[in-house]
């Protein structure tokens, strides 16, 4: 790293620190005070019951943004362990969310952090730029010392520990100002690291909280996986009962009739044999469709990349694919990703009004990343349909995440991410 790069990096860190200091002081006053006032209003006719969840969620959103900045600017990632909030509608759901938030240790951790960050954290953050500003003032003192000392009436202006009452002392102060200007960028990045460690110390959840949250998530994903498996089993049983099984029963009855008529009425027996052949072909087709719905042959034989390309070709709208995958993945991961893509594409074809969809599937940073964008009308509500819920349940057992962006007027973009590692076929 050359000197100019180091100076630029130090100046950038100083500017970022000054911005963080201003934001931290503002957020400490506004968000911290709003939450404290809201909690104080809980006994007052229940007003705080209505306002506290919004105050906590606002503080939580700010804390999450600061976690991102801490990782990006200080290189220190900070985890979170917020309890999952109830999603029930109405006043009862709002009250349950209130109880969950006030019982969550992370809420009080965030409140402590936002006040500490608005005081000690803000001071740490603004020191480098403050040193630079103070240094510039010191450099200007040879020209300013006379007006500052009331035109030579004997008053003394103190610049740090230097009494400025004459031109020579102003020059000494200017030299000290040069040192401050040089030291500000040099200290900016170390102080940003100290600020990042302070944020990490105050915001990080204790291992016990993180473990409790992880156990809760695993319990929920296991419950969802068991429910999805039971629903899939019921669908298979229903499809077998209503489709292939009914045709096989009819074919058995036809064969019994054929056996009775083959000598007395060969012409009728011949017609029944033809019908039985058609029933057997239709039953075989339905069984193949059922197997394809459980695990498509192209997915088992060719892998996820070719399977989603084949799926795109079968869609009633134009699907442009960009698939870049290194190797095969474990079968459960490929199956979950395939059916998640199938569900999203089907929803786009049925509900979006789109005539074109862009499907991107690639692998980077130990995760399978899928983005599906359509040219439809937008306005999709992720909480309003079972399709997106089904996708979330498919991804849940693999710690997968789903994000939906669908502003009115479109476009709708669905992104999925599944942590995984490729395996050799």
Per-residue pLDDT reduced to its tens digit, 89-100: 777 777 888 888
**Structural domain of 277:** 214-294
177 and 226 in a single domain? The answer is no
Q: Average pLDDT, stretch 336-344?
A: 85
In whole angstroms, what is the distance from residue 380 CA to residue 148 CA?
Answer: 65
55 and 172 in a single domain? The answer is yes
242 and 189 in a single domain? The answer is no
Encode pLDDT of 22-70 as tens digits: 999 998 889 988 988 888 888 875 788 888 889 999 999 999 899 888 8
Encode pLDDT of 122-179 as tens digits: 888 888 888 888 888 888 878 877 676 665 445 677 777 877 777 888 788 888 888 8
309 and 272 in a single domain? The answer is no
| pLDDT score for 219 | 56
Identity of the highest mean pLDDT range in 189-198, 261-270, 328-337: 189-198
172 and 197 in a single domain? The answer is yes
Contacts of 4 (CB under 8 A, 6+ apart): none
Count the domains in the chain.
3
| pLDDT score for 360 | 92
Average pLDDT, the chain: 78
Encode pLDDT of 200-217 as tens digits: 888 887 766 555 665 655
369 and 266 in a single domain? The answer is no
Q: Among 168, 183, 203, give the residue marking a domain's end.
A: 203
411 and 361 in a single domain? The answer is yes
Give the rounded percent of residues in the chain with a pLDDT score beyond 70: 79
CATH number where 376 lies:
3.30.565.10
Taking the CA atoms of residue 33, residue 34, residue 38 and residue 40 in that order, the dihedral angle to the nearest 10 degrees is: 10
Asked if residue 239 has pLDDT above 60, the reply is: no
Specify if 209 maps to a domain: no
| pLDDT score for 207 | 67
234 and 323 in a single domain? The answer is no
Q: Among 242, 263, 294, give the residue marking a domain's end.
A: 294
Q: Among 294, 326, 344, give the residue marking a domain's end.
A: 294
| pLDDT score for 240 | 60
| pLDDT score for 287 | 60
63 and 46 in a single domain? The answer is yes
| pLDDT score for 1 | 47
Specify if 425 maps to a domain: no
């Amino acid at each position: 790293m050359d000197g100019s790069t180091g100076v630029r990096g130090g100046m950038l860190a100083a500017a970022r620190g000054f911005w963080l200091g201003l934001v931290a002081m503002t957020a400490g006053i506004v968000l911290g005070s709003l939450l404290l006032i809201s909690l104080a209003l809980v006994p007052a006719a229940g007003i705080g019951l209505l306002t506290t969840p919004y105050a906590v969620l606002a503080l939580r959103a700010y804390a999450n943004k600061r976690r991102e900045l801490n990782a990006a600017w200080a290189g220190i990632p900070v985890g979170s362990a917020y309890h999952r909030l109830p999603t029930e509608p109405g006043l009862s759901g709002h009250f349950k969310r209130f109880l969950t938030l006030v019982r969550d240790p992370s809420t009080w951790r965030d409140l402590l952090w936002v006040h500490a960050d608005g005081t000690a954290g803000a001071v740490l953050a603004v020191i480098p730029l403050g040193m630079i500003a103070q240094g510039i003032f010191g450099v200007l003192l040879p020209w300013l010392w006379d007006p500052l000392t009331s035109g030579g009436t004997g008053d003394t202006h103190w610049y740090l520990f230097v009494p400025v009452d004459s031109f020579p002392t102003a020059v000494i102060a200017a030299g000290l100002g040069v040192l401050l200007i040089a030291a500000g960028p040099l200290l900016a990045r170390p102080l940003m690291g100290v600020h990042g460690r302070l944020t990490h110390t105050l915001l990080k959840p204790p291992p016990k909280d993180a473990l409790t949250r992880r156990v809760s998530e695993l319990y929920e994903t296991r419950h969802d996986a068991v429910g999805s498996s039971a629903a899939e089993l019921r669908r298979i049983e229903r499809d077998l009962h209503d489709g292939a099984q009914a045709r096989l029963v009819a074919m058995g009855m036809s064969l019994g009739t054929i056996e009775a008529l083959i000598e007395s009425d060969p012409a009728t027996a011949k017609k029944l044999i033809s019908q039985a052949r058609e029933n057997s072909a239709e039953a075989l087709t339905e069984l193949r469709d059922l197997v394809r719905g459980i695990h498509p042959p192209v997915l088992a034989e060719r892998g996820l990349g070719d399977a989603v390309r084949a799926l795109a070709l079968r869609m009633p709208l134009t699907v442009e694919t960009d698939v870049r995958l290194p190797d095969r993945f474990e079968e459960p991961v490929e199956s979950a990703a395939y059916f998640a893509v199938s569900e999203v594409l089907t929803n786009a074809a049925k509900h979006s009004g789109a005539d074109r969809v862009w499907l991107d599937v690639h692998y980077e940073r130990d995760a399978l990343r899928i983005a599906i964008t359509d040219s439809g009308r937008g306005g999709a509500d992720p909480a309003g349909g079972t399709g997106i819920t089904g996708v979330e349940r498919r991804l849940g057992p693999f710690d997968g995440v789903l994000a939906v962006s669908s502003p009115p007027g479109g476009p709708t973009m669905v992104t999925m991410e599944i942590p995984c590692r490729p395996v050799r076929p």
